[in-house]
A and B are shown apart, each in its own frame.
Chain A
Amino acid sequence: MRRAWAVTVKELRQIARDRRTLLILLFLPAFFLFLYGYALNFDIRHVSLAVEDRDGSAESRQLIASFVRSTYFDQVASVRSDAEINDLINHGRVRAVLVIPEDFSRRVRDRDVATVQVILNGDDSTTATTVLGYANAVLLEASAEFGAGAETPIIRVEPRVWYNPELRSTLFLIPGLIAFISMITAVVSTALSIVREKEAGTMEQVRMAPISTLAFIAGKTAPYLIISQISGTLVILASMVLFDLPLRGTWLDLSIVLAVFLLGALGTGILVSTAADTQQVALQAAMLVAFLPTFMLSGFIFPVASMPVVLQYITTVVPAKYFLTALRGVVLKGLGLGALWQPIGALAIYAAATLGLSTARLARR
């Protein structure tokens, strides 16, 4: 225990001497959170809409109004021909085009089905899917207005959104950003730590000392845990101050969730470090294991439920996935550690596995 502490102290001193790195590890994550939180959102407002109104009636104008009134769409152009539509879409100037046929008002008055065309610019399918959803919602409303009226009752939908009533994508994004930034910071700080000593030759010196491998690993991990915990907490604080991220759970629960996650993240870096023989290899391996997978397989951007089953199994070894669940649980849903035993348990197992594997690998040499 004391020997592990000696390693920790040495590591901390080394880190402290490289002031640039220390400052980067502590404060940069919070800065980036600010930058990305400010820059990024999924909310697609003001979708540029062009309208070709071949009918020009009160009813058609009412339909157009309901599109605009929904606040989702901004009418940016009125067009009169297919050529204009082509032009606008090809150059990416509009995301959607509403084409109202000449017989629109007649059909509405006759209580017939009136069909309108909605053309979506599909070059960005993420946006297009959302716009599609918006368009559907507006049309449903419009149906209710034009359509059956008091005569024929139809189903009305009343959506209520929990935890995030305005569907602010920030509340969705920020935890994801926190997870990603924390994971990368942790892996980056430890991935080179052991390889560096191997390359410099100082590893042999340390191994001569009567310190157990486990204690050595513990000593190596501890300083980065401290730094990452501080850094991660700063990031969360920044989210609360800058982006109104609520904290519906307790700080203690939050800190514990963060700590268990970081242990696993650091363990990942250390594992990479023990497996690589040069720093170049360590970096490539770290990128392979931590960078893109965390971004894409954690459920941050792409919902895991929508992935092929095989891939869903693979995501079980992405710690960020569990962290996201637990983080959102504590922060947005106010859940406690008990309710979150599954993700926290998974994180703990992951941490034990990576640190344990690292110890085994190192001891074997």
Chain B
Amino acid sequence: MIRRIRTLIVKEFLELRQTPRLFGLLLVAPILQMTLLGYAATTDVEHVPIVIVDGDRSPTSRALVERFAASKNFSIVEEAGSPAAIDDSLAHGRAWLGIVIPHGMGDALMGHGPDSDRVVQVLADGTDSNSSGVALAYVSGLISEFNIGLLIDRGRRPGAVDGRVRVWFNPELESRDFMLPGVLALLLLVVTASLSSMAIVRERELGTLEQLNVTPLGRWELILGKLLPYALVGFVDVFLVLAVVVFWFQVPLRGSVPLLLGASLIYLVCTLGLGLFVSTISSTQQQAMMTSTFFFLMPMVYLSGFIFPIENMPRVIQWVTTLIPLRYFLVIVRGIFLKGVGFQVLWPQFAALAAWGLAVLSLAAFRSHKRA
């Protein structure tokens, strides 16, 4: 049996050697994607483009505008003369926020004007509600600080409430530290699942599967013979991508590397097994591609907790997400990177992944009928 599996593995690698493009894609593409997407994956809202209308032009208002200019959260794209300009900028997406400082604000803040003159209007483009919400919050924060400064300047006790914020695990709220391990997990899923989903179907389409079925090769031998070579390639990918994350992006890895590698291995079994299963339910490579993309990859991207927090999802969907292996691997990967936790904390996720892998491989073996 071992010999037969070994024969299959050798064959797979020989074939791979003859298709340098595939080989290249399998090794280079993950590194490329990890690098590019690593740079993209930041939810830090910085350089928010804003338009400021300073209707007051007093020293106070100039000081406020200066604050905005100096903040790395904002990037002033236009200082306009009238609020009408904001309409245009927001409509065309040149700016996300428009800030209107009313005429007479300086005086009003000294107590020499109506209350309405101290109201700064912030007009936000709500189409990107996520970023706008955060940007609005930044504006609040900046103005809050400005207010405290005003009060202190006037020799008044501010009597204000000042919040000191401490963030655990990710003090800089460096979203990259959080996102990149997630991108790693996602990348592995996309590459390996799509690869293995074509594996068996291809042989079916070419006719070589029939020849295999006539030999004494067993079902599990076939599954393992397909799984192991791709697992090897996948594992190499793990190293490559991990290297990019740790050395290039310098994301701190606080936990145990062997534990991470072990988890990756189990995860690979899940993703490859998933692809193999898809292979057994598809009659053409086209079908395999569509099935794996639509029914597995896309849902996993959205529902695994990679971007959208699972706790925000409706109860029913949360139950569904318990079926997604990426969900557990994300917890493991983020736990090891950010929190430095070990097996004692993460064992439930390990167990879930192992169970999932076994289940999906069994399904694949079950469906690999040698006889129609």
Q: Is the CB of A124 within 8 A of B129?
A: no
- Asked whether any CB of chain A lies closer than 8 Å to the CB of B346, the reply is no
- Asked whether any CB of chain A lies closer than 8 Å to the CB of B45, the reply is yes
Contacts of A305 in B (CB 8 A): 46-49, 75
Q: Given known contacts A44-B312, A154-B147, A291-B190, is B134 in contact with A159 (CB within 8 Å)?
A: no
- Asked whether any CB of chain A lies closer than 8 Å to the CB of B69, the reply is no
A175 to B129, CA, bound (A): 12
Flag the segment in B19-27, B214-222, B265-273 that touches A: B19-27
Chain B proximity of A103: nearest CB distance (Å): 13
Q: Is the CB of B168 within 8 A of A143?
A: no
A41 to B287, CA, bound (A): 31
Q: Is the CB of B122 within 8 A of A158?
A: yes
- Residues B34-81 near A (CB distance < 8 A): 36-37, 39-49, 64, 75
Q: Given known contacts A21-B286, A333-B127, is B39 in contact with A146 (CB within 8 Å)?
A: no
- Asked whether any CB of chain A lies closer than 8 Å to the CB of B157, the reply is yes
Q: Is the CB of A151 within 8 A of B156?
A: yes
Q: Is the CB of A132 within 8 A of B301?
A: no
Chief secondary structure at chain A's binding surface: helix
Per-residue interface assignment for chain A, residues 229 to 256, with 1 indicating a CB less than 8 Å from any chain B CB and 0 otherwise = 0000000000000000000000000000
- Asked whether any CB of chain B lies closer than 8 Å to the CB of A84, the reply is no
Total A-B Cβ pairs within 8 A: 391
Q: Is the CB of A288 within 8 A of B156?
A: no
Per-residue interface assignment for chain A, residues 190 to 229, with 1 indicating a CB less than 8 Å from any chain B CB and 0 otherwise = 0110001001000000000000000000000000000000
- Asked whether any CB of chain B lies closer than 8 Å to the CB of A133, the reply is yes
Q: Is the CB of A125 within 8 A of B198?
A: no
Q: Is the CB of A118 within 8 A of B164?
A: yes
Q: Is the CB of A280 within 8 A of B195?
A: yes
Contacts of B317 in A (CB 8 A): 35, 38-39
Contacts of A189 in B (CB 8 A): 290
Q: Is the CB of B297 within 8 A of A118?
A: no
Residue from the set A38, A44, A287 with the largest chain B CB neighbour count within 10 Å: A287
- Residues B274-295 near A (CB distance < 8 A): 285-287, 289-290, 293-294
Q: Is the CB of A302 within 8 A of B40?
A: yes
Contacts of B150 in A (CB 8 A): 152, 154-155
Contacts of B164 in A (CB 8 A): 115-118
Chain A proximity of B250: nearest CB distance (Å): 15
Flag the segment in B1-9, B175-183, B348-356 that touches A: B175-183
Q: Given known contacts A40-B302, A159-B122, A301-B307, is B129 in contact with A306 (CB within 8 Å)?
A: no
Name which residue of chain A comes closest to B159, CB basis. A111
Per-residue interface assignment for chain B, residues 124 to 164, with 1 indicating a CB less than 8 Å from any chain A CB and 0 otherwise = 11111111111011111101101110110010111111111
Q: Is the CB of B44 within 8 A of A129?
A: yes
Chain B proximity of A314: nearest CB distance (Å): 7
- Residues A41-67 near B (CB distance < 8 A): 41-44, 63
Q: Is the CB of B125 within 8 A of A63?
A: no
A146 to B24, CA, bound (A): 64
Q: Is the CB of A127 within 8 A of B309?
A: yes
Name which residue of chain B comes closest to A41, CB basis. B312
Flag the segment in A4-12, A134-142, A260-268, A349-357 that touches B: A134-142
- Asked whether any CB of chain B lies closer than 8 Å to the CB of A128, the reply is yes
Chain B proximity of A55: nearest CB distance (Å): 12
A310 to B33, CA, bound (A): 15
Flag the segment in B88-96, B238-246, B256-264, B359-367 that touches A: B88-96
A301 to B40, CA, bound (A): 10
Q: Is the CB of B29 within 8 A of A284?
A: yes
Residue from the set A125, A126, A149 with the largest chain B CB neighbour count within 10 Å: A125
A71 to B39, CA, bound (A): 34
- Asked whether any CB of chain B lies closer than 8 Å to the CB of A332, the reply is yes
- Asked whether any CB of chain A lies closer than 8 Å to the CB of B232, the reply is no
- Asked whether any CB of chain A lies closer than 8 Å to the CB of B332, the reply is no
Q: Is the CB of A146 within 8 A of B309?
A: no
Instruction: State which of B127, B162, B309 has its C-beta within 8 Å of the C-beta of A114.
Output: B162
Q: Is the CB of B161 within 8 A of A63?
A: yes
Q: Given known contacts A36-B302, A133-B138, is B157 in contact with A122 (CB within 8 Å)?
A: no
Contacts of B42 in A (CB 8 A): 302, 306-307
Instruction: State which of A168, A184, A281, A314 has its C-beta within 8 Å of the C-beta of B293.
Output: A184
Instruction: State which of A192, A288, A296, A339 has its C-beta within 8 Å of the C-beta of B25.
Output: A288
Q: Is the CB of A153 within 8 A of B108?
A: yes
Instruction: State which of A149, A167, A328, A329 has its C-beta within 8 Å of the C-beta of B133.
Output: A167
Q: Is the CB of B191 within 8 A of A306?
A: no
A285 to B190, CA, bound (A): 11
Q: Is the CB of B289 within 8 A of A188?
A: yes
Contacts of B160 in A (CB 8 A): 113-114, 143, 146-148
Per-residue interface assignment for chain A, residues 76 to 92, with 1 indicating a CB less than 8 Å from any chain B CB and 0 otherwise = 00000000000001000
Name which residue of chain B comes closest to A152, CB basis. B156
Q: Is the CB of A280 within 8 A of B202?
A: yes
Contacts of B299 in A (CB 8 A): 32, 35
Q: Is the CB of B163 within 8 A of A139?
A: yes
Per-residue interface assignment for chain B, residues 320 to 363, with 1 indicating a CB less than 8 Å from any chain A CB and 0 otherwise = 00000000000000100011000000000000000000000000
- Asked whether any CB of chain A lies closer than 8 Å to the CB of B173, the reply is yes
Q: Is the CB of B134 within 8 A of A130?
A: yes
- Asked whether any CB of chain B lies closer than 8 Å to the CB of A68, the reply is no
A321 to B372, CA, bound (A): 47
Contacts of B22 in A (CB 8 A): 278, 280-281, 284
Q: Is the CB of B163 within 8 A of A135?
A: yes
Contacts of B41 in A (CB 8 A): 296, 302
Instruction: State which of B40, B90, B128 has its C-beta within 8 Å of the C-beta of A172.
Output: B128
A/B interface sample: 6 pairs, CB < 8 A:
A32-B294, A116-B161, A126-B43, A152-B150, A155-B146, A291-B297
A-B pairs, 6 with minimum CB distance: A133-B137, A164-B126, A122-B170, A111-B157, A111-B159, A143-B160
Extra A-B contacts (6), CB below 8 Å, given A42-B129, A44-B309, A122-B169: A18-B287, A113-B159, A125-B173, A154-B109, A155-B146, A279-B198
